[in-house]
Structure 1
């Protein structure tokens, strides 16, 4: 099982981050991925939606990309809303990004030890089975 970074390390990671690529962001406002991403955007983060099914659409005012490989700017956090069994390809794609992110964040209910090990080998912090929005509130970011 993946050991999450301490509360203090997660606080530092969130405070030091500006851009979040959200893999699996839905265009449906009632979906968790949309609500969490909207909350993070409202907290001041730039959201880059990544979802091949709705690529080219606009979600939360941002153009949806088909894959992480299309991102040219620095991303601090790759936040993943995919089933645990579908995480490994996302981890592999994260490793190939032009600019390596600081954090690979698997949302609450999502865990994949193999994916965590893979991105961890590149020095990317891994957060497992935690909601980024809840962590942001509990760790009192920006307070």
Structure 2
């Protein structure tokens, strides 16, 4: 359950990416030059349903998907919360994740997004945590 976050087993990452259907993308950007935009486009292209979360864009659309202000505003449960925020914001995101019902199965911190204390709080309630990785890099590597 508690995972050292310096490396991840390929089978674990592949299982997460295979089993996930719905993703809340926290820190989604409407700017095509931003990594969160290209990752969201990639995830959509692989058949995931992606719910962009960005208070500044709430009520608008990114890549044809309605944007939500907060995780609490999502219209349905999600399997994964993918975080495009600074590492020092991950703890606050975990606070929001822990209020979700049902809880997501996975919390995924993008490249450079790592906070081991925040991860532990999520893991203590059974959420699998991946940090400092990008699903748009891991997916082609592991699932082709």
TM above 0.5: yes
User: Are residue 66 (structure 1) and residue 69 (structure 2) matched?
Assistant: yes
RMSD value, Cα: 1.2
Task: Give the corresponding residue for 2:50.
Answer: 47
Comparing 128-137 with 68-77, which one deviates more in the overlay? 68-77
Contact 1:5 1:126 in 2 (8 A): no
TM-score, normalised on structure 1?
0.94
SS at match of 2:24: strand
Contact 1:103 1:124 in 2 (8 A): yes
SS at match of 1:134: helix
TM-score, normalised on structure 2?
0.93
Q: How does 1:2-21 map to 2 (within 5 A)?
A: 2-21=5-24
Number of residue-to-residue matches in the alignment: 141
Contact 1:69 1:98 in 2 (8 A): no
Deviation sequence 1:20-58 (CA, Å, 0-9, x none): 100000011111000011001001000100001111110
Deviation sequence 1:68-91 (CA, Å, 0-9, x none): 011231201100000001111101
Structure 1: tracts of 5 or more residues without a match = none
Q: CA deviation at 1:117?
A: 0.7
Distance 1:130 1:82 in 2: 13
Match of 2:116 among 103, 113, 118: 113
Structure 1 residue ranges (4+ consecutive) displaced by more than 6 angstroms after TM superposition: none
